[in-house]
Amino acid sequence: MNAPKTNIIDNIIQTRHLITDTYLTNLTCLPRPQAVALAGREALRTPWDFHKSIFKDYRPDTQNLLDECFELDWSHTKCEKMIRGEGESQKVKALMKSVYVHLREGYKYYSGIQPLGRIPCLGPGTLTELFHHCPGFIDNKTIKLTDIDLAVIACNGGMRGTNWLNPEKALCRFQMIEVLVRLAQDKYLKTSVAKSCSEAV
């Protein structure tokens, strides 16, 4: 007598299919039927339109918008207090305003690499990476990595007790302008570089 194998633990009788010609014949695959279109509904594709998309409320950059943005950022910095000399702060402001569109685009890129929480900002590692892409800036003579850390600490100094949402060891957009001014002072004014340049002129 040929008794079927039984799973004693689960009390399940295991059956075994005999592979016969009839069994192999039934193992056939049928092609998938074509999708049936819904009655009365045609697939209509309209060309993409910016004004009908989710980006319709986006405000593209204009010169007036960039000027307002720069004036707001500059007013929050401490550049007016730390730049000495009559009329020097206005010269620095005019220079930073002329390159502000590039600073803003660079900030938008680097602040999205490693945001802290929901706040886009430049952390210490991201800021170091940014300056490593500037050949010759960190020369370990006039500017070292520690100088960048000190500039970040100076930018964040005096921010406690305010309603700013910027993290303690990172830079927001307006602080990027200030840290560049501070590092420029460290590299050119507090060393002999500026003196040698003036003598060469």
Q: Count of CB atoms within 10 A of residue 186's CB?
A: 17
Cα(111)–Cα(105) distance, rounded to whole angstroms? 10
Residues 141-198: tens digit of each pLDDT: 888 888 888 888 888 877 655 556 777 778 889 999 999 999 988 888 877 655 554 5
What's the pTM value of the predicted model, to 2 decimals? 0.66
The closest alpha carbon to 61, from 70, 52, 53, belongs to: 70
Cα(91)–Cα(73) distance, rounded to whole angstroms? 16
Cα(67)–Cα(100) distance, rounded to whole angstroms? 9
Residues 67-108: tens digit of each pLDDT: 999 999 999 999 998 888 888 999 999 999 999 999 999 999
Q: Which two tokens stand for residue 3?
A: 């008794």
The answer to whether position 1 is within a domain reads no
The answer to whether position 185 is within a domain reads yes
The answer to whether position 114 is within a domain reads yes
The answer to whether position 18 is within a domain reads no
What residues have CB less than 8 Å from 12, skipping those under 6 apart? 6
- Which secondary-structure segment (H or E) carries 150? helix 145-156
For the chain, how many structural domains are there in total?
A: 1
Determine what percent of the chain is predicted with pLDDT higher than 90: 24
Task: Provide long-range contacts, Cβ within 8 A and 24+ apart, for 190-195.
Answer: 191/142, 193/142
The closest alpha carbon to 69, from 80, 60, 78, belongs to: 60
The answer to whether position 134 is within a domain reads yes
The answer to whether position 145 is within a domain reads yes
Structural domain boundaries enclosing 164: 63-200
The answer to whether position 31 is within a domain reads no
The answer to whether position 180 is within a domain reads yes
Give pLDDT, residue 194: 53
